[in-house]
Amino acid sequence: MKKISFTLNGELRQVDVAPNEILLEVLRYKIGVKSPKCGCDTGDCGACTVILNGKAVRSCLIFAIEINGQEIVTLEGLSKDGLTPLQKALLDRNAFQCGYCAPGMILSATCLMSGNPHPSEEEIKESIAGNLCRCTGYQPVIDAISEVTKKH
């Protein structure tokens, strides 16, 4: 076991981890942050997405020990001060059904918007291309992202 410290949603956290523990499992079961989900465990579905040092990554492919000294944001951190405009737009459209993909989708789109406030439809689609959804057909999600990023 090794003690690691990292910033989780703005707060400094310390946790003991073994080198073979995966970040997704540590977040969910040791720390209790449940928005990242395990859809595939192989990097394919995007349900486990978290933001690591400003970039969307797959927490099922990261060893917890790697994040010592790094900064992680999950959906819980994103909506600390209430829903973001993107989340409101998604809610207004009823854009999700079961919601399993939602945290990953929202974090991927949020990352896109932070570097590129007015993305094209192609860029929007590309940003969530690795977030698989079994329910929505994607269009309402794309529409919500377009709505909050279009130039006024």
Partner 1 sequence: MAIPFEFGYEKPATIADALHLLDKWGRNARILAGGTDLANELKQGFRVPELLVDIKGLDALEKIKVLDDALHIGALVTFDMVRNSQLVRDHAYILYEAAGLVASSGVRNRATVVGNICSAVACMDSAAPLLVHDAVVHTASLEGEREVPVQDWFVDNRKTLVGEKEMVSHVSIPLPKIKHAGAYQKMMRYTGEDLAAANVGVLLMEDGACRVAFGSVGPIPRRSPEIELFFEKNGVNARHIDQAKDMIGGIISPITDVRATKEYRMHMTKVMFVRAMHAAVERLKKQKI
- The CA distances from residue 124 to 62, 107, 110, 111, in Å, are 25, 13, 10, 11
- The CA distances from residue 8 to 44, 62, 84, 127, in Å, are 24, 15, 18, 23
Q: Go through the chain and tell me how many residues it has.
A: 152
Q: How far is the CB of 122 from partner 1 (least distance, A)?
A: 11
Selected from 5, 16, 34, 61, the binder of partner 1 by CB under 8 A is 61
Selected from 74, 87, 108, 149, the binder of partner 1 by CB under 8 A is 108
In 9-150, where do the E strands start and end? 11-17, 49-52, 55-58, 71-73
Q: How far is the CB of 17 from ligand FES (least distance, A)?
A: 18
Which residues in 38-77 contact ligand FAD (CB under 6 A)?
43-44
Q: Confirm or reject binding of residue 46 to ligand FES (CB under 6 A).
A: yes
Residue 11 to residue 14: CA distance in whole angstroms: 10
Extract the tokens encoding 128: 């969530």
Selected from 43, 85, 115, 117, the binder of ligand FES by CB under 6 A is 43
Among 3-11, 14-22, 38-46, 72-80, the segment contacting ligand FES (CB under 6 A):
38-46
Residues near partner 1 (CB under 8 A) are 2, 18-22, 25, 41-44, 46, 49, 52, 55-58, 60-63, 65-66, 68, 108, 111-112, 126-127, 129-132
